[in-house]
Amino acid sequence: MIGKICGTGSYIPSLVWDNEKLAQLVETDDEWIRERTGIARRHLIDGEETTSYMAAQAAGEALKDAGVRPEEVDLIVVATMSSQNIMPCTACEVQKVIGAVNAACFDLNAACTGFLFALNTAQAYIGQGIYKTAIVIGTESLSNMVNWDDRSTCILFGDGAGAVVLKASEDGKYSQVTYSDGSRGDVLTCSSRNQKKFEDEPRDESTYMQMDGGEVFKFAVSKVPEAVRELLDKEQMTTEEVSYYILHQANVRIVRSVAKRLGEKAEKFPTNMEEYGNTSSASIPILLDELNKKKTFQNGDFIVLSGFGGGLTYGASLIRW
């Protein structure tokens, strides 16, 4: 038994900051950002929008797409590193909004690989026959974690949420590899503001996202192809059998480099970071939703999802559409 994706949804905040807007905040320019990252704009939360608000909107849309009633949902797993509350967890807030009264709900944090870990978790519950219907969500308000005075990080990130609905099915495929390397945690950090005293002003630098961009880049371009190859070897498949690779949308140069290292055509690696920037755990489900809505996938297509990020963490999952 596996959990087959039978619906997708996403929520993109309407406030848009393009590269020109960032050039007013820090010493940078549109050409540098586009060339080095492929990013042109990012969408940011505003007004009533929060991490859980976006998650609930994405989940509601995914349920509609799947034709599943909220009461049928047994499990909601949210991947996030930017929930607005510690308690209740974001998944419980989503449950309340969408009326999924029968669901067990919890959050997990594996930074930008979070959606893959959340998908694995839901698949494990379904595979064991514990639950039949699950919603898996990636949702992030990274704008609250970014230092908008730091040009080396603020150009990269954006906010948003994506969700998928899984239904237990005998027909389909799910396989995964995931890894963590805690010894390299210092490459991408953001310490919790909850451990700081409220009078801690101006805000402690460590409570903003800090990153060794070069190290993350090298890590991603070596580990993502490694994970994809291991996954395909495990399933005795070749890269030719894969229709699409949905990679974490951090940097278009990382995506191109992974394609090259796998000996694959760039067309098999759709991207949308130009519009949204890096939305961490939300990036893979947002892209999945866009492609689903465009009817890009055909029934039976093999699709590889792959992510990497803080922890350090990385992994790859194989699904059959």
Identify which of residues 45 and 247 has a Cβ nearer to ligand ACO in the complex. 247
Tokens of 43: 């969408």
**Secondary structure class of 76 (helix, strand, coil):** strand
Least spacing, CB of residue 161 vs ligand ACO, in Å: 15
For ligand ACO, the closer of residues 176 and 280 by Cβ is 280
Bridge-based pairing of strands 104-108 and 75-79 is parallel
> Please, what is the minimum distance in Å from the beta carbon of residue 39 to ligand ACO?
9
Contact 189, 175 (CB under 8 A): no
Residue closer to ligand ACO by CB (options 168, 188) is 188
Smaller CB distance to ligand ACO: residue 63 or 316?
316
What's the CA gap between 273 and 248, in Å, rounded? 9
Instruction: Say which of 89, 92, 105, 112 is annotated catalytic.
Output: 112
Q: Which of 92, 109, 120, 248 is catalytic?
A: 248
For residue 65, the minimal CB distance to ligand ACO (Å) is: 26
Q: Cα–Cα distances in Å, from 180 out to 32, 117, 184, 312?
A: 32, 11, 9, 6
Concerning whether 248 is annotated as a catalytic residue, the answer is yes
Q: What gap in Å lies between CA 62 and CA 249, rounded to an integer?
A: 21
- Cα–Cα distance measured from residue 35 to residue 19, given in angstroms and rounded to the nearest whole number: 12
DSSP conformational letter for 103: -
Question: What CA–CA distance (Å, rounded) separates 78 from 76?
Answer: 7
Binding positions for ligand ACO, rule: CB under 6 A: 28, 32, 36-37, 111-112, 151-152, 155-156, 188, 211, 213-214, 216-217, 250-251, 278, 280, 309-310
Q: How far is the CB of 115 from ligand ACO (least distance, A)?
A: 11
Give the CA distances from residue 99 to residues 66, 135, 223, in Å, rounded to whole numbers and listed in that order.
Answer: 16, 13, 40
Pick between residue 21 and residue 69 the one whose CB is nearest to ligand ACO: 21
Decide if 272 is catalytic: no
Positions marked catalytic: 112, 248, 278
